[in-house]
Amino acid sequence: MTESVGIIGAGLVGCLAALAFAKRGYRVTLFDYRADPRDEATTDRNLRSINLAISSRGISSLEFVDDEVAKRALRDIIPMKGRMIHDSSGRQESQIYGLFGEAINSIDRGLLNNNLLDELDKYDGTNDINLMFDHKLVKIDFGEKQQECLFATTNYGMKTYDFDFVVGCDGAYSATRYQMQKQVRLNYAQEYIDCCYIELYIPPSPEYNSEFNGPFAIAPDHLHIWPRDEFMLIALPNADGSFTSTFFGSWALVESLVPSKNKVEEFLLANFPDAMELMGIENAVRSFMDHPKGALMCVECNPYHASGGRAIILGDAAHSMVPFYGQGMNCGFEDVKVLMKLLDKNKNRTEVFEQYSKQRHEDLVAIVTLAKNNYKEMSHDVTSKMFLMRKKLDGVLGKVLKGKWLPLYTMVSFRDDIAYHKAIEISRKQTAILKLLQAIIIVAISASGYKAFGYFSRLFKRLSALQ
Ligand code: FAD
């Protein structure tokens, strides 16, 4: 008799988990409290970004689960090879992400979710995948053999389903996790950071022609950042020529501006004049005032499973992180890959879930921390001369010492074979070396003046151009 699994949450991670379990012969039922997002009548859009960045870990995990599905799901991605920094005077400076042309990719969140749901609908394995919308998990009674899940539905009242085990992919406010916490000694920490986000919109330029896929209002092959120390604006390209832009700033700042149209207008024009030209100041002010104000939080817990192989949590349910490394979904997809690799080696679910919690914890703590630290890099450091010099040096060493020296961003975003915690370890050592080299160069320049500066500039330029 094949085992049954109830997966809670048909978001990005839940869909991928459903496909991965189904392909291994499990009888899968996937629940979500939302209505089917593919129904035209569904206006319900949860408080999340319209597009997000998918990089190596996310892509390779999709491919690991199903190569063909990955190809179809990633059809409409837009590669972004670097950050475009917009300073207050409107000057733009490109900072390339990869050493050898690697890029992260902008993808429409809704489209990706819908594409994955379509794949589940047409899944044609030993057992079909059951999709159950409008089912809100409210309780799990964990048993020796069966897990009894109670759902609230709009049309059918309360409903109960039994499964051999449960997989919680129900996001940062996970009900599965809450139910597990009553049964398991599960450590749990939640932290709101003092940052609010508001989604804004840059329409396609008047000259945009879909037939030629251009011209875009700003470079489509970059993630745009307007860093202003205490707050910032970013923008990611969409396939229709538009950009989805997000403002990040403290709650106190937003609350001090929002009641007054004049204050918002003044603030936006003073800090992002070039972006306002692209958005149209009227639209930008209206969006800033009316659009939902999103909170950002980090969730950490340990372990991620209930004993006896009865339940496990993946994705944001296990490790919600702030979006500044663009890794939340990537990491959630990687959770699925890591778990499946363990299950492929060992059919004993109890052992596998235990092993997963042990193996994955260090990495999840690492990426949650990295994501938090990256806010400072995006909003402030990218304009600091010392930081940029170190970044240049980092890139030069990466090019010269091919494979033996990897900048942190490369290890996190372009490599799926270096665990997050390992990336931090390596980067700590490299940063110490970089700081030393930087100090030596600065001393040399101050001792020998312009000649040494010219020498290092030429050397950096030549080495940066290496392919
Ligand atoms: P979710 O997407 O939250 O899905 C959970 C699902 O569970 C939902 O469909 C919900 O309806 C359902 N659910 C919840 N409770 C219940 C219940 N009780 N019963 C039934 N169903 C339930 N990540 C990246 O990798 N790259 C990025 O560029 C990026 N940018 C981001 C930008 C912003 C502004 C934000 C906020 C996040 C960003 N992220 C990014 C993070 C990414 O959005 C999340 O990590 C990802 O959505 C997590 O997927 P998930 O499936 O685990 O959870």
Range 275-288 average pLDDT: 97
pLDDT at 97: 93
Confidence of residue 49 (pLDDT cuts 50, 70, 90): low
- Measure 387 CA to ligand 1 centroid, in angstroms: 32
DSSP classification of residue 212? T
Say which range, 240-249, 257-266, 342-351, 397-406, has the weakest mean pLDDT. 397-406
101: left (phi over 0), alpha (psi -120 to 50) or beta: left
- Measure 365 CA to ligand 1 centroid, in angstroms: 18
CA distance 361 to 126: 33
Q: Which of the two residues, 380 and 321, has the higher pLDDT score?
A: 321
pLDDT tens digits, one per residue of 389-423: 898 899 999 999 988 999 999 999 999 999 999 99
| Cα–Cα nearest to 390, from 409, 375, 403 | 409
Pocket test of ligand 1: the residue of 49, 176, 367 to mutate, having most ligand atoms within 8 Å of its CB, is 49
Q: Where are the beta strands (DSSP E) in 81-206?
A: 82-86, 92-96, 104-108, 130-132, 136-142, 147-152, 158-163, 165-168, 187-202
Which neighbouring-strand residues pair with 199?
246
- Measure 134 CA to ligand 1 centroid, in angstroms: 17
Contacts of 85 (CB under 8 A, 6+ apart): 92, 93, 94, 95, 225, 227, 382, 383
pLDDT at 384: 85
Q: Which fold has domain 4-76+109-189+299-374?
A: FAD/NAD(P)-binding domain (3.50.50)
Say if ligand 1 is within 6 A of residue 316 CB: yes
- As given in the structure block, the two tokens for residue 361 are 């914890």
Say if ligand 1 is within 6 A of residue 430 CB: no
Say which range, 40-44, 100-104, 211-215, 345-349, has the weakest mean pLDDT. 40-44
Phi, psi of 367, rounded to the nearest 5 degrees: -75, -30
pLDDT at 381: 82
For the cut 70, the answer to whether the pLDDT of residue 467 exceeds it is: no
- Measure 173 CA to ligand 1 centroid, in angstroms: 10
Say if ligand 1 is within 6 A of residue 53 CB: yes
- Measure 77 CA to ligand 1 centroid, in angstroms: 19
Say if ligand 1 is within 6 A of residue 327 CB: yes
Pocket test of ligand 1: the residue of 54, 316, 334 to mutate, having most ligand atoms within 8 Å of its CB, is 316
Cα→Cα distances 362→23, 78, 344, 425, Å: 28, 32, 22, 11
pLDDT at 305: 98
Domain boundaries, the chain: 4-76+109-189+299-374, 191-295, 384-464
Range 97-123 average pLDDT: 95
- As given in the structure block, the two tokens for residue 85 are 């920094």
Complex ipTM, two decimals? 0.99
pLDDT tens digits, one per residue of 51-104: 999 999 999 999 999 999 999 999 989 999 999 999 999 999 999 999 989 999
Q: Which pTM does this prediction carry?
A: 0.94
Atom 2 of ligand 1, residue of closest alpha carbon: 11
Say if ligand 1 is within 6 A of residue 13 CB: yes
Confidence of residue 41 (pLDDT cuts 50, 70, 90): low
- Measure 260 CA to ligand 1 centroid, in angstroms: 32
Atom 37 of ligand 1, residue of closest alpha carbon: 323
